[in-house]
Every structure is written in structure tokens, then in C-alpha cells.
């Protein structure tokens, strides 16, 4: 299959500080640093990471909403930069946002929200617009009469359906979903996940699924990329990432999912500490202060480039070459949150003094 999206050595830096007249100490925040990605047509790429890792900035850069500092983005054969034809671009890539309460115009009816992109892109026949709006509403599980209502008349799940309809009305090939279910109630998430999967099949969509929730990413993605402090530290087919994760950070993310029924072989060692500030990333491999298997090289040499670790599986870790599975158990690697029994029984309380 052809590559729908190709990202080469992308970097997004923000200049911060400097203060009044730039007299102060200016700093550079490297939100995205040297990212390579490809997304094939009709496939879902899961982009995983914690807050501040640059995954949303990367999404915005791909959509041309955030000018990159360096690197190339090639979407369906066209270069994405300041000169890109926005109209053609809008028909190729769209976005679904996290918060369906904040991302819809409260003063526009659903019809207005869905018809505007059509009108701006050359569909002026009122009948055709109505047909396409009705068709799109049906596809996302809403009724035609919903078109005349305003966002406040809908629940969170229905609003997210409207957000998805808006993204799909121009029939894009790539949809970037930035945490599409994390603002929704638990009992609604499955509806939206199923809807996204159905639309992917029926319309042949490709997704970039940005999420911190690994169970959602495992369920939806064909390919997964794990980001840490602006870099991709591990990428590969979903099965490789979830069944044979090689980067300690990926393992930590999997270990952090509280699932009382997690299979024993998925229970990895957790990590300590928190994500360092991207303004002041650690020397050496960015993950080394939290990593349980550091060696001297990790502290001195910058993290290695992504290297192949079997098939399409790539990992950026100095110790990836070592047999990880032998390294981990030696560290008592199976002790995780999930391996604890819940505290049993009431314990007697110490008499207070």
C-alpha cells in the first residue's frame, strides 16, 4: 500500500522567555525533535505518550496548524508548508478533538457546522448539501432531524459524533483523532470506539490516534509509535509493541494500566519519577533518570537512533540489543500495580496516642 503520510525528521521548537525586549534568558522548548513517521492508506497509527511528550504538537504540525522548525511532511503527494493549498489539504486531512463541549460552535446548528466546509469547498447546491449532511449524520448514528439542533441539546457522546461528522464531511483520507474518547463517560466510550472502527472500514480512512490510553490504542491501531519528550522511542506493528515491547518506557506504560485481569506475562516493572521538563531535558537518553536498566552509556551518550528490532519494529534504547527478557526478570520485573491483591480484610488500627 502507498504511504498516505510521510513525516521526515520533523522538529517543532518553541522559543520561550526573553521577557521584555528579549533581555532575559531565552530558552528553546523542543516539543518535537527528529520524528519520522509513515501512515499507510486505510491504516490506524496509534501515537502514545504522556502529557508534554509532544504528541498533540506533532498532530497539529501534520495538519499544517503548527509551522515546523525543520523537516518535511508529505501528505498524499503534497508537501505541507505555508504554501499548501488549504482547500485541497482540507479535503485530505481532518481532525477530531478531545473535548466535544469546547470544539463545536454553540451558536451554529449541526447543519451549519456540517454545511460550512462543503460550501467553502465548492458545493453550493442546497439540495446536494442537505443530502450530504443527512448522509453523514446517518453514518455517525444521528437522525436527520438532529441537523436543526444546537450543540447544547446533545449529550457528550452525541457531540463527539457531530465532531466526527464534521471531520468526515469532506471525505478526507486521513483523520487525526486527538484523545477522542477520554472526555467521554465510560459507558459511552465503547460506542465511539466502535463508530470510529466502522467508519474506518466503510470509508477506507486512515487514522492517527493520539492517546495516553494504551488499551484503546491496542484495540484500534495497526501500527503504534511511543513518544517520550518529543522523540519516538519505539514504533512497530501493534502486536510487537504490546506483546514484545522492548523500550523500558513502553513497558512502564503497559505496566501502569490498572487491569485486575492483566495476563501475567504483561506485568512489567513500573518506573519511578516523573517526566522531566521538556525545557530542560536530561543529558544522555531522555528516559535514563527513570529507567530501571540504565548503564553508563545511557547517562553520557544521547539516546540512539531508532534501530530495527525485527521486521518493522524499531526501538531507541542502548540496551535493546541485550536480551531484554533476560534483563527484566533479574530486576524483579513482574512486580506491578496489578500483581497486588487488594488489601484484605479490615486491619486493626493502632491505638492513637
The nearest distance, CB 297 to another protein, in angstroms, is 23
How many alpha carbons fall within 13 Å on the CB side of residue 104?
31
The stretch among 121-129, 172-180, 191-199, 295-303 that binds another protein (CB under 8 A) is 191-199
The stretch among 30-38, 62-70, 72-80, 152-160 that binds another protein (CB under 8 A) is 152-160
The nearest distance, CB 169 to another protein, in angstroms, is 23
The nearest distance, CB 302 to another protein, in angstroms, is 22
The stretch among 28-36, 81-89, 189-197, 304-312 that binds another protein (CB under 8 A) is 189-197
Please tell me whether residue 266 binds another protein under the rule CB under 8 A. Answer: yes
Please tell me whether residue 185 binds another protein under the rule CB under 8 A. Answer: yes
SS3 sequence, 202-259? HHCCEEEEEECCHHHHHHHCCEEEEEECCEEEEEEEHHHHHHCCCCHHHHHHHHCCCC
Residue with cell 484500534: 220
Beta carbon nearer to another protein, 92 or 211: 211
User: Of residues 124, 187, 202, 326, which one binds another protein by CB under 8 A?
Assistant: 187
Q: Can you tell me the distance from the alpha carbon of 343 to that of 341, in angstroms, rounded to the nearest whole number?
A: 6
How many alpha carbons fall within 13 Å on the CB side of residue 235?
19
DSSP three-state, residue 299 = helix
Please tell me whether residue 332 binds another protein under the rule CB under 8 A. Answer: no
The nearest distance, CB 180 to another protein, in angstroms, is 13
- Is residue 230 left, alpha or beta, with left meaning phi > 0 and alpha meaning psi from -120 to 50? left
The stretch among 15-23, 94-102, 107-115, 208-216 that binds another protein (CB under 8 A) is 208-216
Please tell me whether residue 194 binds another protein under the rule CB under 8 A. Answer: yes
User: Of residues 128, 153, 259, 325, which one binds another protein by CB under 8 A?
Assistant: 259
Q: Can you tell me the distance from the alpha carbon of 88 to that of 35, in angstroms, rounded to the nearest whole number?
A: 25
Please tell me whether residue 352 binds another protein under the rule CB under 8 A. Answer: yes
Please tell me whether residue 90 binds another protein under the rule CB under 8 A. Answer: no
- Closest by CA to 155, choosing from 139, 141, 175, is 141
DSSP three-state, residue 135 = helix
Beta bridge mates, 47: 210, 225
Beta carbon nearer to another protein, 215 or 308: 215
Residue with cell 446517518: 138
* Residues making contact with another protein (CB under 8 A): 50-51, 155, 157-158, 185-191, 193-194, 197, 212-216, 218-220, 238-239, 242-243, 252-263, 266, 270-272, 274-275, 290, 336-338, 340, 342-350, 352
Amino acid at each position: 500500500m502507498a504511504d498516505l503520510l510521510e513525516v521526515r525528521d520533523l522538529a517543532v521548537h518553541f522559543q520561550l522567555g526573553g521577557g521584555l525586549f528579549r533581555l532575559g534568558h531565552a530558552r528553546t522548548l523542543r516539543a518535537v525533535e527528529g520524528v519520522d513517521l509513515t501512515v499507510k492508506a486505510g491504516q490506524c497509527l496509534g501515537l502514545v505518550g504522556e502529557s508534554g511528550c509532544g504528541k498533540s504538537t506533532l498532530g497539529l504540525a501534520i495538519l499544517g496548524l503548527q509551522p515546523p522548525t525543520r523537516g518535511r511532511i508529505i501528505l498524499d503527494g503534497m508537501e505541507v508548508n505555508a504554501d499548501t493549498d488549504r482547500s485541497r489539504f482540507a479535503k485530505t486531512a481532518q481532525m477530531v478533538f478531545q473535548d466535544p463541549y469546547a470544539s463545536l460552535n454553540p451558536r451554529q446548528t449541526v447543519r451549519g457546522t456540517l454545511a460550512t466546509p462543503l460550501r467553502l469547498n465548492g458545493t453550493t447546491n442546497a439540495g446536494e448539501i442537505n443530502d450530504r449532511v443527512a448522509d453523514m449524520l446517518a453514518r455517525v448514528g444521528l437522525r436527520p432531524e438532529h441537523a436543526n439542533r444546537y450543540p447544547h441539546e446533545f449529550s457528550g457522546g452525541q457531540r463527539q459524533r457531530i465532531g466526527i461528522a464534521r471531520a468526515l464531511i469532506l471525505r478526507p483520507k486521513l483523520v487525526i483523532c486527538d484523545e477522542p474518547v477520554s472526555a467521554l463517560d465510560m459507558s459511552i466510550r465503547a460506542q465511539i470506539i466502535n463508530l470510529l472502527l466502522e467508519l474506518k472500514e466503510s470509508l477506507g480512512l486512515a487514522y492517527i490516534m493520539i492517546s495516553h490510553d494504551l488499551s484503546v490504542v491496542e484495540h484500534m491501531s495497526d501500527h503504534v509509535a511511543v513518544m517520550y519528550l518529543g522523540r519516538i522511542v519505539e514504533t512497530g506493528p501493534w502486536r510487537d509493541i504490546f506483546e514484545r515491547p522492548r523500550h523500558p518506557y513502553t513497558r512502564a506504560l503497559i505496566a501502569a494500566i490498572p487491569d485486575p485481569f492483566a495476563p501475567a506475562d504483561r506485568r512489567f516493572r513500573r518506573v519511578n519519577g516523573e517526566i522531566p521538563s521538556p525545557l530542560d531535558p536530561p543529558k544522555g537518553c531522555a528516559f535514563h533518570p527513570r529507567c530501571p536498566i540504565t548503564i553508563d552509556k545511557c547517562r553520557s551518550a544521547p539516546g540512539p537512533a531508532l534501530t530495527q528490532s525485527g521486521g518493522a519494529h524499531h526501538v531507541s534504547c542502548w540496551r535493546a540489543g541485550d536480551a531484554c527478557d533476560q534483563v527484566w526478570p533479574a530486576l524483579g520485573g513482574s512486580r506491578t500495580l496489578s500483581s497486588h491483591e487488594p488489601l484484605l480484610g479490615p486491619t486493626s488500627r493502632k491505638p492513637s496516642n
